[in-house]
Structure 1
Amino acid sequence: YMKIPEFLGKLPYRPIVSAFTATATAEVKADIIKMLELRDPFTITTGFDRKNLYFGVSHPHDKYSETVRIVEKYKDNCGIIYCSTRKNVESVCEKLCADGYNASRYHAGLSDEERRKNQDDFIFDRVQVMVATNAFGMGIDKSNVSYVIHYNMPKNIESYYQEAGRAGRDGNEAKCILLYSGQDVATNKFLINNSHDNPDLDDDTLEMIRKRDLMRLKKMTDYCNTNGCLREFILGYFGEKQDKPCQNCSGCWGDFGETEEVDVSVDCQKVLSCIYRLHQRNLSFGAGVIAQILKGSDSEKVKRFDLSTLSTYGIMKDSTQVYIRRLIAFLEADDYITQTSHGDFSVLTLTRRSAEILMDKKTITIRLPKKKPKSETVTKIGRDEVTTFDKELFGRLRAVRSKLATQASLPAYIILTDASLRDMCIKLPKTQTELLNISGVGKSKQERYGRYFVAEIQKYLKENPDAASGYKYIPEGYLQKQNAVGGQSTKEYIIAHAGELSGKEQDMTLSEVCDSIFYQLGTDGDIRSIKLAIKEWLIGENYLAKDGANGRGFLETTILSPEAGIIEREKISQLGNSYKTILFPKQAQEFIFENIEEILSKDVQNS
């Protein structure tokens, strides 16, 4: 926008100029005013807080597995996965499609025609997951995005908040999860140091921009390693104060779970002492080697530099590498240590603040996932209580909406949002008048679309008369909590009510079979653990096997699969790749239900 003043100067007279931005710090606001030569402008900030968004930072060992876990958890909803490179976009999208998820891709390397098609498929709900670089999203007004995953850390908080903010625009609860790794920092530093080639800028300005971008990257890295409330960190970055922790981020609750304050003063002393001992030998290394020394590793570098003779070698052998690396990241985020360049590598050195821990014995606490007693099975109920509802009816109403949207050439959410459809599944309006009691349905939408949805609900109730009494409205986690209080876990509850389960006349994936179990019993719970128990039992009994050839742990049928009713089907992904999927027809579903006591009893005994 530095060329805008030049353009304005060529006009016969200067018009009133207005500048708008979604995310700007006080420094950037002053920069805009100065560079656009705004004259005593009126300024207003409407606020940065989006209370319906959950912010989470995860440090996973395997980013793709963590991505699948999130996508699977919200598989009935739309989501965006942002990657920093085209290569990552292609890889993640291809894997998701091969794993049976309805995903598409978007990046600048695609043709205009494909980008337009893929974007329309996402907006019109023909695909549920968009894997994209930051080229995707500007001007995209899709309200029903339920989650945004950052597969790689962005270069600054401004970019992150804009991209994450594409979730939850319908006002419903939505998840914004960033998957962090130290490699993201190195990649972003490389991009910052090698991407400023604007011919209109002199060397001094380019250097100023480079240093500014590195400072912003440092803030982004600090966000990923902060010990406090993530929302408070973001708002503070943009100059907005928050009175207390939000209780709706991983800083307050941990990675999708409760956390607790832990005194790590002694362990921090060990980390800093290790760096100091290396300095005494005129040696310096990055976080990886320091963690190896503290853990007592016999890696190649430890042997080459004779690091096993350090007094700090192996003094944290009982700690995990993940924990040690997290401590190092925390110490760096709070400026107790810093990264400096050493040739082509970054190494860690002490700062002046290190003395506060080493000499003054300052108490250091960080927030870590809370360790629960093995007997405790209570599931946390967050502020965004998710309710169960009739998923079969929900699917039928979505099909009606999709048909109406196609006919009108409109995105589906413009017709009605998912929140409105869920409300219909709970309240079951049988007349046009009752439809006005549904969230998001006004007179205009009632008159335009109401008859189609009411007709579908009436048809459904005729086919399912038991549903007319109203579907159970149970907050997620509530039943598990009640069962635990009564001494009964969720798995024990399923075993006790196994006789109520029946197979459906459709070919289901294993995830859908688990959904069916929870739906039929009128409860929600940890579907992932049930799915894992069933899968391991089927493999153990040789009804399924792991396909070792592809290296991804896919399942394949065995000679005993027909006995259990399990079938295998070949499908073609959007990228044109062929893959096989395991399906469970009615016979296979009932086979699992008949054996559910044996499947889950072993897990119950172990727990």
Structure 2
Amino acid sequence: MSQSPNLEKALKYHFGYDNFRSGQRQVIEDALSNRDLLIIMPTGGGKSLCFQLPALIKKGLTVVVSPLIALMQDQVEALRKNGIAATFLNSSLNSYQTRSREQYILGGKVKLLYVAPERLLSERFLPFLDLVHHQVGISAIAIDEAHCVSEWGHDFRPEYRQLISLRKRYPDIPVWALTATATDRVRIDIIQQLGLKEASIHIASFNRQNLYYEVRTKKKNSYAELLELIRETEGSGIIYCLTRKKVDELTFKLQHDKVSVLPYHAGLTDEERSQNQTRFIRDDVRVMVATIAFGMGINKPDVRFVIHFDIPRNLESYYQESGRAGRDGEASRCTLFYSYGDVKTIEYLISQKSDPQEQLIAKQQLRQMIDYAEGTDCRRTIQLSYFGERFTGNCSNCDNCRHPKPVEDWTVEAMKFLSCVARCKEKFGMGHIIDVLRGAKTQKISQYEHDKLSTYGIGKDRGIEEWRLLGRSLLHQGLLEQTSDGYAVLKLNSLSWEVMRRQRQVSIAVPILQKITWNEETTKATEAEMLLQKLRSLRKKLADEQSVPPYVIFADSTLKLMAQTKPQTKEAFGKLSGVGSHKLSQYGEKFIAEIRNYCQESGLKEQQTNAGDLLDLPSTTELQTLQLYQQGLSISEIAKKRNLRPTTIIRHLCDLIEKNQSIDINQLVPLQKQQKIWQVFDTLGDISLTPIKEYLGESYSFDEIRLVRGKWRQKSRK
């Protein structure tokens, strides 16, 4: 194929990037050979580029089917900022605007047309499309969010089923189906429902390595935890709740605590929802509290945290919603607050479904979500196995891998719990059993005279949450059963009796209690950090002038490169990743002027570093740790002063070492140990820590290995 050797050149010219992401080049080559495609790439994997670049290279118009107005407008805006001829046709336009755009299309002045499925298949639009095909030529039909075609997907839309008529109308035009999530069943459905012929199937890994996943138990003080998370994490965030009422309550509380936040749910007017979404996208407001109605149309790449304050209904939705964090590939956080009460709410909602089969599927999906929330395995292992992808675990970027929960022998407690179920004749739920164990004085206990049972009050030494943790663990280990008739009555099975006869041991993973505080101490930022803030301000000013989101001007990663390298000529500026020819001419001089002014004021020079080799800047929280470390404080002293755990401070120091900051590792790890650990990394490479720890033996701690790994990684990059 003649175009292939120039693909990198076209990529830099149009989009400003020097290299393709994993899998993109192969997809684009297949697209240029006029094949049908099924492209499954996770959010943030560069899916859109796979149809946008071929559209610019091929002759004619590429039609892009997109389900949401906000999404298509966002993508068109981003393309135009790169000097690419793209437009959309949807209900937001008046008849004059529509006719004007149609004339542009017929004149061959547009390369990408975004349109909703309903309009595309309308009686008025199809003849127009025929005319375009005849006069200009249609190079391809790209169907975004293709999982919407399948009843087995998490967002089925009946109108997508009718898109197969395009295949019959234009049999020789290639169809490209794209989606961010799809199980095997959904993939087969997409191919059948869209009539794809001998499709080239591209499935990228679902592993979003930049996302940190964690699950926290929802307790009375969880709001304080939520507030801490928001305050300690920089950038924009989304908080998901199950109901509109919870969205409104949480928004009110956060506003009271001086958080820049807005709500989003179906109870608001269309105008309010649209206005709130626009303010969030344009960084006028920092946090959005929303029901799941919010998000599918959000193309904002710099969301730094997604918090689920209630458990989602299924794992696929959770993957999709949490995946709205870090679409730009930068480190981001996904936190799920989990409580048994939320499960009961979803079970009630499931019971309202009229179709028994739908109820069955929903219950099974909820069970998988509970297993994820309560699982002690690597979060990625659980997520990726759902999509049929094997992952060995030890990702080093989830709570279970970074902070393995201690497993404790709770056989005695389990015997007490199960005996109490037996004494209560297997007729009650978990709440009542726990009340009996703890010697509560409830009306129910008096009514059934359960205060006279031998198990009454034998569990006073444990709290309600501890007994509930055990009860759930017994259920998930199959050592206890529960009726599914809505009453959730506990029932014993053969394994329960084995436990009570001391024939089976019971171990459970016990969460470590975290002290919930936050630190409002500000730190003097490094020069690069200060310049970065100035560049962000300039970006926001330009974005507001043009009524576009800031990330459409330049991505965060490109601003960071500017702050690090401080380019002061157009030639140097144009070499930065994310600076294409159009953006260089549009914005180059303004950003260069800002950088020059800052450098003159600060007496700094341009860095002659290769942008591709630059390390990330330290985060604000890492800089706070660095400042205290440089003052001579020990790890435990820093942890105490910042109200964080020592392991968190160790993690900061590891990352700071990796980011080439001045940390003397010799004060933290004895030289002899450093040499031995270094040798193992040189031999085994950058693998997970557990096998390295096993190789080195008990005298080496995980913290020591992590610190040396930071230094080893930093040296390896040079």
Q: Give the TM bin, normalised by the shorter chain.
A: 0.5 to 0.7
* AA at the equivalent of 2:547: S
In structure 2, how many angstroms separate the alpha carbons of the residues matched to 1:128 and 1:298? Answer: 47
The alignment yields a C-alpha RMSD, in angstroms, of 4.0
Of 47, 56, 59, the residue aligned with 2:217 is: 59
Alpha carbons of structure 1 residues 353 and 404: separation in structure 2 relative to 1, 3 Å: farther
Residue 82 of structure 1 and its aligned partner are, at CA, apart by 0.9
In structure 1, how many angstroms separate the alpha carbons of the residues matched to 2:327 and 2:640? Answer: 39
Q: How does 1:309-324 map to 2 (within 5 A)?
A: 309-324=452-467
- The answer for the alignment partner of 1:588 in structure 2 is none
Query: Is 1:270–1:315's contact at 8 Å kept on the other side of the alignment?
Result: no
Alpha carbons of structure 1 residues 116 and 280: separation in structure 2 relative to 1, 3 Å: same
Query: Is 2:564–2:607's contact at 8 Å kept on the other side of the alignment?
Result: no
Worse-superposed segment, 116-125 or 318-327: 318-327
Query: Is 1:388–1:474's contact at 8 Å kept on the other side of the alignment?
Result: no
- The answer for the alignment partner of 2:363 in structure 1 is 214
Residue 362 of structure 1 and its aligned partner are, at CA, apart by 4.0
Residue 117 of structure 1 and its aligned partner are, at CA, apart by 1.1
Residue 327 of structure 1 and its aligned partner are, at CA, apart by 2.5
In structure 2, how many angstroms separate the alpha carbons of the residues matched to 1:81 and 1:388? Answer: 30
- The answer for the alignment partner of 1:305 in structure 2 is 448
In structure 1, how many angstroms separate the alpha carbons of the residues matched to 2:453 and 2:599? Answer: 74
Alpha carbons of structure 1 residues 460 and 293: separation in structure 2 relative to 1, 3 Å: farther
In structure 1, how many angstroms separate the alpha carbons of the residues matched to 2:601 and 2:467? Answer: 58
1:513-571 per-position Cα deviation (integer Å, ceiling 9, x unaligned): xxxxxxxxx999xxxxxxxxxxxxxxxxxxxxxxxxxxxxxxxxxxxxxxxxxxxxxxx
In structure 2, how many angstroms separate the alpha carbons of the residues matched to 1:115 and 1:389? Answer: 39
In structure 1, how many angstroms separate the alpha carbons of the residues matched to 2:508 and 2:166? Answer: 57
Alpha carbons of structure 1 residues 318 and 6: separation in structure 2 relative to 1, 3 Å: closer
Alpha carbons of structure 1 residues 317 and 111: separation in structure 2 relative to 1, 3 Å: same
Query: Is 1:89–1:131's contact at 8 Å kept on the other side of the alignment?
Result: yes
Of 367, 372, 379, the residue aligned with 1:223 is: 372
- The answer for the alignment partner of 2:420 in structure 1 is 277
Residue 421 of structure 1 and its aligned partner are, at CA, apart by 2.9
Q: How does 1:175-194 map to 2 (within 5 A)?
A: 175-194=333-352
In structure 1, how many angstroms separate the alpha carbons of the residues matched to 2:617 and 2:176? Answer: 49
In structure 2, how many angstroms separate the alpha carbons of the residues matched to 1:523 and 1:338? Answer: 56
1:420-457 per-position Cα deviation (integer Å, ceiling 9, x unaligned): 33444444444445545755445554443233223223
Query: Is 2:436–2:457's contact at 8 Å kept on the other side of the alignment?
Result: yes
- The answer for the alignment partner of 2:586 in structure 1 is 448
- The answer for the alignment partner of 1:407 in structure 2 is 545
Q: How does 1:536-555 map to 2 (within 5 A)?
A: none
- The answer for the alignment partner of 1:173 in structure 2 is 331
Residue 314 of structure 1 and its aligned partner are, at CA, apart by 3.8
In structure 2, how many angstroms separate the alpha carbons of the residues matched to 1:330 and 1:281? Answer: 20
Describe the SS at the equivalent of 2:533: helix
Of 204, 216, 219, the residue aligned with 1:46 is: 204
- The answer for the alignment partner of 2:230 in structure 1 is 71
Q: How does 1:232-311 map to 2 (within 5 A)?
A: 232-253=381-402, 258-266=403-411, 270-271=413-414, 273-311=416-454
- The answer for the alignment partner of 2:685 in structure 1 is none
- The answer for the alignment partner of 2:488 in structure 1 is 346
Alpha carbons of structure 1 residues 41 and 444: separation in structure 2 relative to 1, 3 Å: closer
Alpha carbons of structure 1 residues 351 and 163: separation in structure 2 relative to 1, 3 Å: farther
In structure 1, how many angstroms separate the alpha carbons of the residues matched to 2:589 and 2:469? Answer: 56
In structure 2, how many angstroms separate the alpha carbons of the residues matched to 1:439 and 1:54? Answer: 25
Q: How does 1:117-516 map to 2 (within 5 A)?
A: 117-196=275-354, 206-253=355-402, 258-266=403-411, 270-271=413-414, 273-341=416-484, 345-354=487-496, 357-359=499-501, 361-369=503-511, 391-435=529-573, 440-441=578-579, 444-464=582-602, 476=622, 477=625, 486=634, 489-490=637-638
Unpaired stretches in structure 2, ≥5 consecutive residues: 1-148, 152-157, 516-524, 609-615, 643-660, 664-718
Describe the SS at the equivalent of 1:489: helix
* AA at the equivalent of 1:151: F
Query: Is 1:143–1:170's contact at 8 Å kept on the other side of the alignment?
Result: yes
In structure 2, how many angstroms separate the alpha carbons of the residues matched to 1:12 and 1:242? Answer: 37
Query: Is 1:106–1:132's contact at 8 Å kept on the other side of the alignment?
Result: yes
In structure 1, how many angstroms separate the alpha carbons of the residues matched to 2:602 and 2:161? Answer: 69
* AA at the equivalent of 1:408: Q
In structure 1, how many angstroms separate the alpha carbons of the residues matched to 2:300 and 2:436? Answer: 49
Identity, in percent, stands at 36
Query: Is 1:275–1:290's contact at 8 Å kept on the other side of the alignment?
Result: no
Query: Is 2:164–2:193's contact at 8 Å kept on the other side of the alignment?
Result: no
Residue 68 of structure 1 and its aligned partner are, at CA, apart by 1.2
Residue 37 of structure 1 and its aligned partner are, at CA, apart by 8.1
Of 247, 250, 257, the residue aligned with 1:89 is: 247
Residue 86 of structure 1 and its aligned partner are, at CA, apart by 1.1
Residue 353 of structure 1 and its aligned partner are, at CA, apart by 4.4
Alpha carbons of structure 1 residues 365 and 25: separation in structure 2 relative to 1, 3 Å: farther
Residue 125 of structure 1 and its aligned partner are, at CA, apart by 1.1
Residue 182 of structure 1 and its aligned partner are, at CA, apart by 1.1
Q: How many residues align?
A: 467
Residue 102 of structure 1 and its aligned partner are, at CA, apart by 1.0
Q: Normalization by structure 2: what TM-score?
A: 0.57
- The answer for the alignment partner of 2:650 in structure 1 is none
Alpha carbons of structure 1 residues 455 and 300: separation in structure 2 relative to 1, 3 Å: farther
- The answer for the alignment partner of 1:98 in structure 2 is 256
Query: Is 2:235–2:303's contact at 8 Å kept on the other side of the alignment?
Result: yes
Alpha carbons of structure 1 residues 523 and 418: separation in structure 2 relative to 1, 3 Å: farther
Alpha carbons of structure 1 residues 193 and 13: separation in structure 2 relative to 1, 3 Å: same
Query: Is 1:388–1:523's contact at 8 Å kept on the other side of the alignment?
Result: no
In structure 2, how many angstroms separate the alpha carbons of the residues matched to 1:286 and 1:484? Answer: 55
